[in-house]
Structures are given as C-alpha cells and as structure tokens.
Copies of this chain bind each other. A is one copy, B any other.
Amino acid sequence: MTRAASSASKGKAPRTARGEKTLRKILDAALAEFGQRGFHESSIVGITSRAKVALGTFYTYFDSKEAVFGALVRDMSGRVRDHVAPALEGAAGGLDGERRALAAYLRFVADHKEVYRIIDEAEFVDPAGFRAHYETTANRIAGRLAAATDSGEVRDDGPLANEVRAWALMGMNVFLGLRFGVWGEENEDKVASLANDLVQRGIKT
C-alpha cells in the first residue's frame, strides 16, 4: 500500500491504482485548502471542488474534515522524510549527513511553504498527530546520532545527551526552515553549512 493509500480512513483504503490516484488528488487539494484557509475556514466542499471530484468521492476515502486533516499531517510528515532521506546517502559521515539533510529540508520548505501551516495547526486540530510527528522525527535523528556515537564520530556524553541533541537539532532545522525557507529565502547550502558547522564542532569527538 502506498503512503497516500494508507492515509484513508479505516476500512476506506483504495483498492485500485485509479482509486489511489483519486486519493492523492484529494490530499493535494486538502493541502491547498487547509494551507490557504486554515482548518476552521476550510470545508470538504472546498477540497472536492479543488480536486474536481464529487462530494461522495470524498466520503469513499475519508470520514470527516478532521480525518482528511490528520491524513494530510501524516502525508506531509512522510513527504518531508522521503525528501530528506536520499540526501543522507553518500554523506562523508553522520554529521555531514545532517548538513545534507538540513539543506534538503530547506529546499523542501521553500517549495512547500504550506507545510508549516499544516503541521503547526495540527497542534490544535490533531494534537496526537502533532506530537507523533515530532517524536518520530526526533527519534529518527537520535538514532542517527547513536550510530555516529557508536562509530566514534560523536562524543558519548551519557544517555540523555543524544536525546537532547536530537531535539536541539530538530528545533534548529524547524526554525531555520521558517526563517530561511518560508519567510525569506537564502542560499540553502550556505545556511546549512553555517548551522552544521555549529553542530559538528559542538558534538564531534
């Protein structure tokens, strides 16, 4: 099952490639609708008319406006991960990988400025999804730092250190994305290098 397909409400996952394509259209339309109007001003009709599908088609896949919003949060969270993951390949080491990941993230948010509105509004509309997004992301970073600690690249400062570092790195990335991706643009490799220089010197052995 593709990520889009698995985002449908319970028992409503599409069973054909055509259904998956329709579901993808609904998610893209939901991103535009929620991103521009916010959750409260958005409507299911707004989503279906952007997606050019019938109202009934929406209910084939989702139970409610809340359900499609929650699905969109998981979808965006997964899209960020999928966009950033390839950047980690071919890095000179774990910490160089974090630099590449940040540069890829800055590029992604500059191209998808709505991502902040969606994830941030989840704090109010879908608090469990909001928390899951950040805990999953922090755990992923902490796992990479643990591997870099094992390989001797990152200092071993006890069990709490890599968790603190993971939340610190995630926070850096989120706010650098807000400042240098959403609110203003700046060469992403330059910003990523400056931030990563701080991180590398900060935690390398």
Contacts and interface: CB of A to CB of B under 8 A. Distances in A.
Interface in A154-205: 157, 160-161, 164-165, 167-176, 178-180, 183, 186, 190-191, 194-195, 197-203
A191 B172 CA distance: 16
Given A40-B40, A171-B175, A165 B198 contact: yes
A194 B176 contact: no
A160 to B, nearest CB: 6
Contacts of A169: 172
A59 interface: no
A138 B175 CA distance: 10
Contacts of A194: 157, 160-161, 164-165
A52 interface: no
Interface residues of A, number: 42
Q: How many copies does the complex hold?
A: 2
The main secondary structure of chain A at its interface with chain B is helix
B138 A179 contact: yes
Given A124-B121, A183-B131, A201-B202, A167 B160 contact: no
Interface of A: 38, 40, 116-117, 120-121, 123-124, 131, 134, 138, 157, 160-161, 164-165, 167-176, 178-180, 183, 186, 190-191, 194-195, 197-203
Given A157-B197, A201-B201, 4 more contacts: A134-B175, A168-B172, A168-B176, A170-B175
